[in-house]
Structure 1
Amino acid sequence: MRFLLIALLLVSGCVQAQKKIAITIDDLPTVSNYYRTSEQKVQMTHRLLKHLKDHKAPAIGFVIGRLLYSDGQPDKSQLALLTKWLDAGVELGNHTYAHKDINQISSAEYAEDVIKGEQLTKDLVERRGKSFRYFRHPFLRKGPTQAKKDSIEQLLTQRGYREAPVTVDNSDYLFSRAYDNALLQDGKTLAAEVGRQYIAYMTSYIDYYEAQSDSLFGRQIPQTLLLHANAINADYLGQLLTALHRKGYSFVSLDEALKDPAYQSADRYVGKGGISWLHRWALTQGKQGAFFKGEPEVPATINELVQRNP
């Protein structure tokens, strides 16, 4: 009986260890209302990369091209930040030039933003013998009409891109705004409370999308987590990765995650929403209201802090 119990525990541990997650980070080089000087951005980048290194977590970063320019000219300090990501072994992808909303512009203007977003970053990547191959939709929006969606998908295929999906969508950007505001008020105690709530919120989101995966596929698929190169992740990404490890996750590359057949699921969702691919697949399969219940909400205290003027 004792040996049977040990065997069951070992099997249970193996099953839990099979959970995988890919870390994807938007809005490179950095986005923060608090860390704004060149020196602060370097420090912030170093902290983000140290968290990834300490947890042996592969990652891919998506670059907003406009952030690489100053007064219309390439900004050497911003390009140097991208070099740090590449030196750390992080792949880089295209997040457009100006992060425009497909719901608000024409397909032609969106296409122009995609192509312009390749400038500088693509060259930086290809000079290292790497491929510039992944694209992340701003706001996770793919088109409010079938015509727009088809047009953008055709453009991305023509330019050799693969869409970078997100299964674990979340509002880390709101927590980062709240965190920035707390720091700008010199509220270290308040900032620490925002950080505590952030970790609780993100782990509850992981639980939510685990349940969605079970409901849709009957198993745990490799998840793709959306984060941003922001202040709160510079300080708390390590704690988040530790929490994920304790929940049985191993960290894999986006390439590895996308090998799972779940990512070949049909996505026929057309609409203005920027939503998780799990929800896109669920809507395509005809899932309705009850399936989507239980999504975590940003606490009112965080939303209130977002609105404050430091």
Structure 2
Amino acid sequence: MNDTRADRPLKIAVTIDDFVLWDGVPMPDDTTPTDITRSVARTLNDYGLKGTYGFSHTYRIENEPEQMEAFEAWAEAGHHLGNHTHQHAPLRWMPDAAFRCDFETAEKYIGHLIDAAPSKYFRYPMDMSSGSERRRGEVENYLADRGYRTAPITSWFSDFAFIMPYFRAVTLGDKDVQKQVRDLHVSTAVDMLYQHADTAHTLFGADAPLIWLVHGTTISRDTLAPILEAFLERGVEFVTLDEAMKHPVNFGKPPCNESFTNQLQRFALAAGLPKPELDVERLAEILNLAPIPGLDTMATYEERMFKPLAKRVGAEYDWDWS
């Protein structure tokens, strides 16, 4: 733990991605995306975080029109929506025209809700904007012409790693492991926030308002309040996305990188610094909790989500978790 934390109150803008989770990722039988969305929205409101931006792809609405209810519930609770594309495929997997079409398909489903927000924001799927500076520039010009700004991620904590272990623990009915996963979710969120803050401080010479991400998952529903409470205990100040976007760590454009990295990590790599990331040993501990044959964490993502997604968009499957 960093002993200087109490002397370093940080500013963060909370954002929520994919409260309608990716097609193929399992969810407990008694849980729906709308349930999770309403609970997360309510927790944010309880902590005074009204007007939080959510970025969720719209692909599942195509075959499950009832999922539109989650988007509407988010807006009804006083929060805002941005565009996160329709299929949630990285730019490097799609030709330019196809990527723009995917963006516009998302608008067809939720454009009226995006227009109701005070600012129009777009977030690249996985915060990945391709390995081509030219392609990213063309996309950015296209977005600007449509009145959008890009809202990156400058603090995350690999919360995707917790989804399957928590699902398995709930499926097994193992209350002790469920608590273990929840506790790790909270402590990892705190640790990684300060790792990202330290990196930003090194890069910019002062603490920067970070754009923090958590996904709309079952475990986030069950731990968001303790995470926010832990942040407040350490002096964190919650700011709006508009406020955070005034800092160059958030509106700047680091060199493109094809690896699975967020914006701050790309700045660090460009500066020759180690990127802030979850310790490999802790990651392995999380991924392997509550094992169930046939429900391996990484295999589930690869076989049920990423490979079918690549096939849908006509891309050769190419993914590097590092």
The TM-score by the shorter chain falls in which range?
Answer: 0.7 to 0.9
> Does the residue aligned with 2:189 lie in a helix, a strand or coil?
helix
Higher mean C-alpha deviation, range 93-102 or range 293-302: 293-302
Q: How far did residue 123 of structure 1 move?
A: 1.8
Q: Per-residue CA shift, 1:85-143, capped at 9, x if unaligned?
A: 112111100110011122222222222111111112112343xx445611111111101
> Does the residue aligned with 2:213 lie in a helix, a strand or coil?
strand
Question: Does residue 63 of the first structure (1) align with residue 47 of the second (2)?
Answer: no
1:164, 1:43 → 2: CA distance? 26
Pick closer, same or farther for the CA change 1:264–1:79 going to 2, 3 Å: closer
Question: Does residue 270 of the first structure (1) align with residue 236 of the second (2)?
Answer: no
Larger Rg: 1
Partner amino acid, structure 2, of 1:25:
I
2:69, 2:276 → 1: CA distance? 42
Q: 2:206 aligns with which of 219, 223, 238?
A: 219
1:105, 1:261 → 2: CA distance? 28
Q: Per-residue CA shift, 1:184-214, capped at 9, x if unaligned?
A: 2222221111111111111110110121122
Question: Does residue 280 of the first structure (1) align with residue 266 of the second (2)?
Answer: yes
> Does the residue aligned with 2:90 lie in a helix, a strand or coil?
coil
Pick closer, same or farther for the CA change 1:26–1:283 going to 2, 3 Å: same
The two structures have a TM-score, normalised by structure 2, of: 0.80
Q: 1:299 aligns with which of 265, 273, 283?
A: 283
Question: Does residue 209 of the first structure (1) align with residue 228 of the second (2)?
Answer: no
Pick closer, same or farther for the CA change 1:142–1:236 going to 2, 3 Å: same
Question: Does residue 28 of the first structure (1) align with residue 10 of the second (2)?
Answer: no
1:84, 1:190 → 2: CA distance? 31
Question: Does residue 44 of the first structure (1) align with residue 36 of the second (2)?
Answer: yes
Contact 2:151 2:250 in 1 (8 A): no
> Does the residue aligned with 2:227 lie in a helix, a strand or coil?
helix
Partner amino acid, structure 2, of 1:140:
D
> Does the residue aligned with 1:118 lie in a helix, a strand or coil?
helix
Pick closer, same or farther for the CA change 1:302–1:87 going to 2, 3 Å: same
The two structures have a TM-score, normalised by structure 1, of: 0.83
Question: Does residue 123 of the first structure (1) align with residue 112 of the second (2)?
Answer: yes
Quote the residue 2:145 is aligned against. 158
> What's the % identity of the aligned pairs?
26
Structure 1 spans left out of the alignment, 5+ residues: 1-11
Q: How far did residue 183 of structure 1 move?
A: 1.1
Give the alignment's Cα RMSD to 1 decimal.
2.4
User: Which structure is higher in strand share?
Assistant: 1
Question: Does residue 139 of the first structure (1) align with residue 126 of the second (2)?
Answer: yes
Contact 2:161 2:283 in 1 (8 A): no
